[in-house]
Amino acid sequence: MYTTLLAIGIFLIIYALIITEKWNRAVVALLGASIMVLAGIVDVHQVFTHYIEWNTIALLIGMMILVTITNTTGVFQWLAIKTAKSVKGNPIHLLIMLSLLTAFASALLDNVTTVLLIVPITFSITRILKVNPVPYLISEVIASNIGGTATLIGDPPNIMIGAANKHLTFNSFLIHLGPIAAIILVVTLIMLYFIYRNKLMVSEEDKQQLVNLDENESIENIPLMKKSLFVLGLTIVGFTLHSILHVEASVIAFAGASLLLLIGLNEHQIEKTFASVEWTTIFFFAGLFTLVGGLQEVGVIKQIAKYVLDITNGDLSLAAIFILWISGIASATIDNIPFVATMIPLIQEMAASLGMAVNAPQINTLWWSLALGACLGGNGTILGASANVIVASIASKEGKGFSYMEFLKIGAPITLVSLIIANIYLFIRYL
């Protein structure tokens, strides 16, 4: 009993410290993990062999390396300028197109990476048009969270769910979450259109300035760009085939990254690329997995799973809807990564309590509910997802900040509509 209370205490304190964002979240998570081990709640061997989800970590590192190298070629800037020129500087069409571009990129790359690529270009394009960048930044973050919902590699919650469930392949995510993400994106873009269409004005002279830009000047290194796009394409094809090849998505990502490092970079550039991996995110994940492992070790997750089954009377349809809305609300208020890290073993325990396999169709519905709730809920508030926090802090640093309320006014209604659509989808397709 003492160990259980200690584990819960450590978990809650660390969770609270992460939410306050006063200290580096990776350091806080690693501190919590260390305390869990030092207190004897979880064995270090178990941590490394059982609790840390290496597939999640390897997939993230592999994709970070691939994107870092591709970004140095200037291809993303080229694409953004080309997109902006295609709408001839019309501000509301530009907002829709940049949001679409972000959503599409987010489906193939993780959200944080995508917004880090699109935000600098957004500042540049909106400045030349003399238009407020905030509506664009907010729309891009929202589109990024919706686009990321569509695939296994699009959003950290999906990466975690996919890594914990070998049977949920890249194609499963695409088939089950792709269509609903596309519908929600269309509805969201319509909402954004009506919210912003009368608030964005650009003079003809400034539109002409944009049209005069030469996007080809963005391309820095054509041979490397060709290699990067080839390897990135090959990696994505690999993701779609990973279940047929019986290879983990993380291995595909690592193989792609290794190939591009080998054929595209020299020794010095390789060192720089390794240094540019977002190690904070990686260590944050490792710490969280250990923290949640501590809770699993003392049986807390099992108890919560039983409680959820009790209040839903063991009805998995009700449990799916419950998980969707709880995940949506929780993810809107706290970062969805620690929440999903806690929910994964909980759903596994629910399956075990009902004597069902984790890959049973009924249990799969719970996984899709969790993915939809966690990813879409991230749009609820500025704190809902890592991408939101990062964009808000960059915008503030550049003197173009937006408040919690400013984001909430746009994000909350969109999240509510998204969750209602997701609820209807789950009901029609699975329940």
Partner 1 sequence: MLTYQFDPTIVQMEERSNNEEIEIQIKLLQSEPYAKHMKQVKDFFDRNEIYTEALFYFCKNNEYRIIVRPDYYVDLILMLMRHRLLQKVEWKY
Stretch that binds partner 1, among 94-102, 266-274, 285-293, 390-398 (CB under 8 A): 390-398
Specify the stretch interacting with partner 1 by CB under 8 A; choose among 39-47, 124-132, 340-348, 377-385: 124-132
The conformation of residue 202, written as its DSSP 8-state character, comes to -
Which member of 213, 234, 304, 417 binds partner 1 (CB under 8 A)? Answer: 213
In this complex, which beta carbon is closest to partner 1, that of residue 172 or of residue 209? 209
Residue 190 CB-density burial (10 A; 0-12 exposed, 13-18 middle, 19+ buried): exposed
271 binds partner 1 (CB under 8 A): no
Rule CB under 8 A: say whether 90 interacts with partner 1. Answer: no
Contact of 384 with 146, CB cutoff 8 Å? no
205 is a site residue for partner 1 (CB under 8 A) = no
Decide if residue 120 touches partner 1 (CB under 8 A): yes
Q: How does DSSP classify residue 334?
A: S
What are the backbone dihedrals phi and psi of residue 122, each rounded to the nearest 5 degrees, phi first?
A: -65, -45
Pick from 217, 271, 310, 315 the residue near partner 1 by CB under 8 A.
217
Nearest partner of 124 among 116, 115, 133, judged by Cα: 133
Residue among 353, 346, 386 at smallest CA distance from 369:
346
What's the 3-state SS for 73-134?
CCHHHHHHHHHHHHCCCCHHHHHHHHHHHHHHHHHHCCHHHHHHHHHHHHHHHHHHCCCCCH
Q: How far is the CB of 198 from partner 1 (least distance, A)?
A: 25
Q: Is 399 among the residues that bind partner 1 (CB under 8 A)?
A: yes
Select from 123, 193, 274, 325 the one that contacts partner 1 (CB under 8 A): 123
CB of 398 to partner 1, least distance (A): 5
Q: Tokens 């990067």 identify what position?
A: 228
Q: Which residues of 311-327 are buried (b: 16+ CB within 10 A; e: fewer)?
A: ebeeebeebbbbbbbbb
Site membership for partner 1, residue 398 (CB under 8 A):
yes
Please identify, using beta-carbon distances, which residue of 94 and 319 lies nearer to partner 1.
Answer: 94
**Does the protein bind partner 1 through residue 219 (CB under 8 A)?**
no
- Rule CB under 8 A: is residue 400 a binding residue for partner 1? yes
88 belongs to the binding site for partner 1 (CB under 8 A):
no
Contacts with partner 1 by CB under 8 A lie at 119-120, 123-124, 127-128, 209, 212-214, 217-218, 220, 394, 397-400
